[in-house]
Amino acid sequence: MEKEQEHNDSDIAIVGMSCLFPGAPNIDVFWRNLEDGVDSIVEAPSLRIDPLYFQKGDEAYDRFYCNRGGFIDIPALDPMKYGFLPIAAKGMEPEQLCMMKLAWDALEDAGVFEKNISLENGCVIIGKGNFGNLSSMRNMDIINTSEQVARVVRACIPGISEEELAKIRKEYQAQKGEIRPDTAIALMPNLIAALVTNKLDMHGPAYTVDGACASSVIAIDHASGLLRSGQCDIALAAGLHLAARFARGKALALYFGQLCLQRGNLGAGFRLPFLRILYAAFFQGNLVLRSPGGARA
């Protein structure tokens, strides 16, 4: 109780964290990498990006001058653990499953499940850019690009039959994956927060914010405001970047698994702090990691 009196009633506590960064699949490895000075920037893996896109001296639009970056390995996930049927998970955006796992990990880190702390009055605020994700790109390829491929083939081979064109179109679509009703959710990036609250039975506000590079900071600010106003008593505030495609440019390059050209490197990541009003955290015995301002509580 003595600690309670040292802080204002409106102070916020970070009581749990999780993350997924290049070279750091969890928070423990992330801190260890920082302590040990580990450089997680590597050359682009050939399984992610074909090396032909980095041919030197080629100034074509689909060639790139930067071949180093921070690449995330998407962890193997059990969708049933988070309330998803395996058949539905096939059509889901990878970032949705990753965010679900990270939300779960942050709550575990805070001891929520162990202490049976109610999540009913909780909120989820996620900072993310609303650029094209993997599912929207895939759907565009299946619906639009497959027809463009067929037209190009028809123009190059005037005598080709419609049956042969249909086979080409069908084969191209098959390589892009299946479109399912579940995919519709993945096409709307702003539903990712609602998805987390739905699966965790949280009844508070759930939305995404897009403030470019400041998205995660804005998410924490919004979550802190909701806690102070009493609209919720616990909050998950996240920042994520998981891009779907390369976009050529001197200042920006995107690909599934990494984001943003910064000083010649590509980078990506998920980070998710779990927040509470500080006095409530002390009252329920949470280990207070930090306050959002950076000082230890």
- CA neighbor of 70 nearest in space, from 270, 265, 271, 272: 265
Q: Which of 180, 202, 218 is the last residue of a domain?
A: 180
Q: CB of 68 within 8 A of CB of 266?
A: yes
Structure confidence at residue 92 (pLDDT): 76
Q: Could you tell me if 57 and 203 lie in one domain?
A: yes
Distance CA 123, CA 116 (A): 17
C-alpha distances in Å from residue 22, one per residue of 4, 27, 126, 237: 38, 12, 20, 20
Q: Which of 180, 200, 217 is the last residue of a domain?
A: 180
Q: Which of 117, 151, 180 is the last residue of a domain?
A: 180
| pLDDT tens column, 159-196 | 999 999 999 999 988 887 777 766 666 667 678 899 99
| pLDDT tens column, 109-146 | 888 899 898 999 999 999 987 666 666 777 778 888 88
Name the residue with higher pLDDT: 250 or 70: 70
Confidence of residue 211 (pLDDT cuts 50, 70, 90): confident
pLDDT greater than 70 at residue 245: no
Structure confidence at residue 279 (pLDDT): 45
Instruction: Determine, yes or no, domain membership for 198.
Output: yes
Q: Could you tell me if 17 and 126 lie in one domain?
A: yes
Instruction: Determine, yes or no, domain membership for 288.
Output: no
pLDDT greater than 80 at residue 17: yes
pLDDT greater than 70 at residue 264: no
Most distant pair of Cα atoms in the chain: their distance:
86
- Mean pLDDT computed over every residue of the chain: 77
Structure tokens at 225: 């405001």
Q: Could you tell me if 25 and 159 lie in one domain?
A: no
Structure confidence at residue 12 (pLDDT): 84
For residue 151, what are the domain limits? 134-180
Mean pLDDT of 219-235: 91
Q: Could you tell me if 192 and 203 lie in one domain?
A: yes
- CA distance between the termini of the chain: 14
Instruction: Determine, yes or no, domain membership for 293.
Output: no
Mean pLDDT of 23-52: 88
Mean pLDDT of 242-258: 40
Instruction: Determine, yes or no, domain membership for 290.
Output: no
Q: Which residues of 99-138 are buried (b: 16+ CB within 10 A; e: fewer)?
A: bbbbbbbbbebbbbeeeebebeebbbbbbbbebbbbbbbb
Question: Which residues 6+ apart lie within 8 Å of 88 measured at CB?
Answer: 79, 180, 182
Q: What are the φ/ψ torsions at residue 48 (nearest 5 degrees)? A: -95, -45
Structurally, how many domains does the chain consist of?
2
Instruction: Determine, yes or no, domain membership for 145.
Output: yes
What's the CATH code of the domain at 259? Answer: 3.40.47.10
* Least confident stretch, 42-46, 101-105, 152-156, 239-243: 239-243
Instruction: Determine, yes or no, domain membership for 294.
Output: no
pLDDT greater than 90 at residue 76: no
